[in-house]
Structure 1
Amino acid sequence: MSRQMHFVAFLIVGPTSHHHGMWRHPESENRFLDPGFWETLAQTLEAGRFDALFFADVLTFYNDTIMRKGGQMSLLDPVPLVAMMARATQRIGLGLTMSTSFLPAYSVARTLASLDFLSGGRVAWNVVTSTADREAQIHGAGELLPRNERYERADEMLKICQDLWTGWSEGAIVMDKDSGRFIDEAQMRRTDFQGRYLSANGVFPVPPSAQGHPVIMQAGSSPRGREFAAEWAEMIFTLQHSLRDMQAFYTDIKERVAKAGRNPDHCKILTSVDPIIGETEAIAREKQAYINDRVDPELAVALVSSHVGIDLSHYPLDKPISDINAEAGSRGSMDVILQAGGLTLGEAAKRFATSELCPQVVGTAEQVADQLQVFFEEKGCDGFIMTPTEMPGSFESFTRSVVPILQKRGLYRKDYPGTTLRQTLQD
């Protein structure tokens, strides 16, 4: 079978996702606090045969402007939402974001393994290290570790989780009523890990899921983030500006994965795009201009500040973004912004607040399918992270109009290959 695209939907339990005008669009329902909304959306995406959906997470309000103007925020913990969406679906993968910087490894491993088991092996963990001291402060940690140390802690977290998740051998549960034996302890392995930042000692009580353990997803762009992704990630969420940027990232990551001793085909690279679809190209362009104009300039600077991890509000808007020292913040996020070229802070912020500087794929359904096909066939990616500009309309129009075109071209599945997320990704 020829190579086929993979699709994952980007979600946040709040007023916006990547596009910071989304909640202000007249057709956005803004029902992000309604459990039924998320269940219906999951069913829509499953009908479109998406590999997965995943929730990004924001652990606190990054700044007062984002709070006041409806920027990127998570108003609910996505863990119970994922559990509810699992009950409303059968095949689509269900991802959630958990930071490695604050919680004990056992707590993370137990929550994710339980969700993975109960969903029939459909859970993915989007691994993040966090970038804002406000997140550390609300956890009582004061401030974040330096960037490289955050990744060292993340490495320890993944090592512990993987060891816990693989501690059960087949046949461990005996459940023999006559003998009274429930578990064969000889089939259980104890985890004993003592690291610089994290430790765990004991036997993990959650049995393995149908896919063994959760799929690992990651979005690091810095050299250290790419190194981490090459070792652990099965899905990579990347933000790139152009086909050339996509191709460079794709080649680099695939080479790193191979050097790490893994099969590059088992690490899917998904680049973020915002589809905007119209009955004609002119209508689609009008839709694009309209939604992009909903972005508040002050909110845009606040958003960039939250991603970079430093307050940019005291810089003049006409200052070149390349002249701003962001060493204290997220190097990966700053590198993504710098890829756009010689922009001022104001220009970069406005563009970042529309699509986080990723392509807005605009046109008729045929034209959108054409653009995605080029990115895919020219080895810019293995598929796409689809981010909405209105909710739930962006996903509804895409699944009804673009997906059938890609299926007809043989570029996208007509059904799921199995029951687990890992089966879907490796198909």
Structure 2
Amino acid sequence: MSRQMKFVAFLMAGPTSHHHAMWRHPQTENRFLDPAFWETLARTLEAGRFDAFFFADVLSFYNETVMARGGQMSLLDPVPLVAVMARATSRIGLGVTISTSFQEPYAIARVLSSLDVLSGGRIAWNIVTSAIEREAQIFGKDALLPRSERYDRAEEVLKACLDLWTGWPDGALVLDKESGDFIDEVKMRRTEITGKYVGATGVFTVPPSPQGHPVIMQAGSSPRGRDFAASYAELVFTLQHSLPDMQEFYADLKGRVDRAGRNPDDCAILVSVDPIIGETESIAREKQAYINDLVNPQLAIPFMSAHTGLDLSQYPVDQPIKDIPAETGSRGSFDVILQGTKASNLTLGEVAKRFAISELCPQVVGTPENVADELQEFFENKGCDGFIVTPTEMPGSFEAFTRSVVPILQKRGLFRKEYPGSSLRETIKA
């Protein structure tokens, strides 16, 4: 079989995704507190044979402006939401974001493994390191770890989770009614980990799922984040701005995976795209202009400040973005912004508006054939292994994509017509 695309839907349990005017679109339903809405959306994505969907997550309101204006936020914990959507589906992967900055490994491993068992092996863990001081404060912490230590803690957390997840060998769960043997305690392995940041001692309580343990997903862009992904990630979510940027990231990360002693094919790189589809190209362009004009300018700079962990309000809006220092906050996020704006020498105000529209990712605009053509170009020119599909209206963006673009890609042999198995790891490796 020839190389095929992978698709993962980007979701947030709130009013927006990347596009901060999504909730204001007249066709957006804004039923983000209704479990039936999410169940229907999960079935739509599964009918489109998406590899998975995943929920990005924010543990606190970024700031008062973002809260008041309906910017990016999570109004529900994605863990129970994923459980609801798992019951409505049988094949699609279910991704959940959990930060390594505040929870202990056992708590993370237990909840994710429980979801993985109950879903039949369809869970992915999107690993993030928190970069927002408000998230630390809501957890009762004085401050975040220094930026240089966040991935050190993340690596300890992940290694502990992986150790816990491998504590159950084959045949350990006996369940023999006649003998009364329930678990073969001799086969069970204890975890004994004491690290600088976290530890775990004891026997893990959750039996393994059909895929063994959750798929590891990651979205770091800094050099340290890329090294982390190269060592552990099976799916990588990245924000890139054009085909050359995608190709540069793709080649760099695949090289790091190889140097980490892994097969580069075992780490799929997915770039974020925002499809806007119309019956004609002119209709699609009108849709694009309409939704982009709904972004509130008062929201743009506070949001980008919160996302990067930098107070950008202290700089003039006409200052070139490349001249702004970034010694704190999320270095990877700010580097992505700089990369996407260096060719145009954009000002802070110009960049902030674009960031609130798509986080500087491509808006793929046109007829279904136009959109399919552009995705094929990115894919076949080694810009990616697939796509994070991000909506601009809900649920219409996903309905239009699955009903109009997916069949074209299937006809071209670029995307599956059926799931290869029942677990997420089977799907992404096919």
TM range (shorter): over 0.9
Indicate the residue corresponding to 2:180 in structure 1: 180
Indicate the residue corresponding to 1:17 in structure 2: 17
Match of 1:354 among 357, 361, 364: 357
Question: Equivalences for 1:2-13 in 2 at 5 Å?
Answer: 2-13=2-13
Report sequence identity in percent. Answer: 74
1:379-400 residue CA offsets vs partner (Å, 9 max, x unmatched): 0000000000000000000000
Letter in 2 for 1:400: R
Indicate the residue corresponding to 2:279 in structure 1: 279
The CA distance in 2 between the partners of 1:393 and 1:426, in whole Å, is 29
TM-score normalised to structure 2 length: 0.99
Deviation of 1:325 (Å): 1.5
The CA distance in 1 between the partners of 2:417 and 2:116, in whole Å, is 24
Letter in 2 for 1:198: V
Please, which runs of 5 or more residues in structure 1 have no aligned partner?
A: none
The CA distance in 2 between the partners of 1:84 and 1:408, in whole Å, is 32
Indicate the residue corresponding to 1:62 in structure 2: 62
Asked whether 1:418 is paired with 2:421, we answer: yes
The CA distance in 1 between the partners of 2:45 and 2:397, in whole Å, is 11
Deviation of 1:19 (Å): 0.4
1:97-143 residue CA offsets vs partner (Å, 9 max, x unmatched): 00000001100000000000100000000000011010001001111
The CA distance in 2 between the partners of 1:22 and 1:67, in whole Å, is 15
1:18-69 residue CA offsets vs partner (Å, 9 max, x unmatched): 0011001000000000000000000000000000000000100010000000
1:250-309 residue CA offsets vs partner (Å, 9 max, x unmatched): 011111111111111111000000000000000000000000001111111111111111
Deviation of 1:239 (Å): 0.3
Indicate the residue corresponding to 1:400 in structure 2: 403
Asked whether 1:53 is paired with 2:53, we answer: yes
- Number of residue pairs the alignment of both structures matches: 427
Indicate the residue corresponding to 2:127 in structure 1: 127
The CA distance in 2 between the partners of 1:305 and 1:298, in whole Å, is 12
Deviation of 1:324 (Å): 1.4
Indicate the residue corresponding to 1:366 in structure 2: 369
Deviation of 1:314 (Å): 2.5
The CA distance in 2 between the partners of 1:387 and 1:277, in whole Å, is 13
Indicate the residue corresponding to 1:378 in structure 2: 381
- Aligned to 1:332, the other structure's residue is in SS state helix
Letter in 2 for 1:408: K
The CA distance in 1 between the partners of 2:411 and 2:251, in whole Å, is 28
- Aligned to 1:187, the other structure's residue is in SS state coil
1:72-115 residue CA offsets vs partner (Å, 9 max, x unmatched): 00001011110010000000000010000000110000000000
1:155-204 residue CA offsets vs partner (Å, 9 max, x unmatched): 00010000000111000011112221110011110000010000100000
Question: Equivalences for 1:12-411 in 2 at 5 Å?
Answer: 12-339=12-339, 340-341=341-342, 342-411=345-414
The CA distance in 1 between the partners of 2:203 and 2:380, in whole Å, is 46
Letter in 1 for 2:317: L
The CA distance in 2 between the partners of 1:37 and 1:319, in whole Å, is 43
The CA distance in 1 between the partners of 2:177 and 2:210, in whole Å, is 25
- Aligned to 1:407, the other structure's residue is in SS state helix
- Aligned to 2:387, the other structure's residue is in SS state strand
Please, which runs of 5 or more residues in structure 2 have no aligned partner?
A: none
The CA RMSD measured in Å over matched residues stands at 0.6
- Aligned to 1:185, the other structure's residue is in SS state coil
The CA distance in 2 between the partners of 1:95 and 1:27, in whole Å, is 26
- Aligned to 2:336, the other structure's residue is in SS state helix
The CA distance in 2 between the partners of 1:147 and 1:124, in whole Å, is 25
Letter in 1 for 2:287: K
The CA distance in 1 between the partners of 2:205 and 2:149, in whole Å, is 30
The CA distance in 1 between the partners of 2:261 and 2:117, in whole Å, is 28
- Aligned to 1:347, the other structure's residue is in SS state helix
Letter in 1 for 2:74: S
